[in-house]
Amino acid sequence: MADMRSPLAKVRGLGSAKDGTMHFWHSRVTSVAAIPLTIFFLVLGFSLHGASYEEVRATFANPFVSVFALATLLMIIWHMKLGMQVIIEDYIFVERTKWVLLMLNSFFTGVLALLTLFALAKLAFGA
């Protein structure tokens, strides 16, 4: 197959990072997983409407609830990270700003995932 890149582009080292397909695929996999998980989460959310502190703790002490809640949030947070990355890459053309925002996106979603993990683990193990 003919090489579509100009010699100048090769010299500058610009071009595909070769992870676009994986990005697209992870976005789809997380979205498919998120369909039933989101419905589960809506049901869980409404079932805890008006629940007391003790009731909420007891609910998350159930392994199925905490594991599915963890799966839901981790899937969605990974999906969020991928989605926001696309938005940033679509609209931000100033290189420095773009890289800063891409980093902030990673940090923000990373912190959310860690907080979720810690909070659910604490509730599940009843510390």
Question: What number of other Cβ atoms are within 10 A of residue 58's Cβ?
Answer: 14
CB 9 within 8 A of CB 47: no
CB 82 within 8 A of CB 30: yes
Q: Quick check: 78 binds another protein (CB under 8 A)?
A: no
Supply the Cα-derived Rg of the chain in whole angstroms. Answer: 20
Which part of the chain contacts another protein (CB under 8 A), choosing from 15-23, 46-54, 96-104?
46-54
CB 77 within 8 A of CB 116: yes
DSSP three-state, residue 1 = coil
Q: Quick check: 31 binds another protein (CB under 8 A)?
A: yes
Q: Quick check: 10 binds another protein (CB under 8 A)?
A: no
Q: Quick check: 74 binds another protein (CB under 8 A)?
A: no
User: Pick from 57, 71, 98, 102: which binds another protein (CB under 8 A)?
Assistant: 57
Q: Which is nearer to another protein, 17 or 24 (CB)?
A: 24
Q: Compute the distance between CA of residue 34 and CA of residue 76 in angstroms, rounded to an integer.
A: 6
Q: Quick check: 83 binds another protein (CB under 8 A)?
A: yes
Q: Which is nearer to another protein, 17 or 111 (CB)?
A: 111
Q: Cα 56–60–64 angle (5° rounding)?
A: 145
Q: Which residues bind another protein (CB under 8 A)?
A: 28, 31-32, 34-35, 38, 42, 45-50, 53, 56-57, 60, 69, 73, 76-77, 80, 83-84, 87, 112, 115-116, 118-120, 122-123
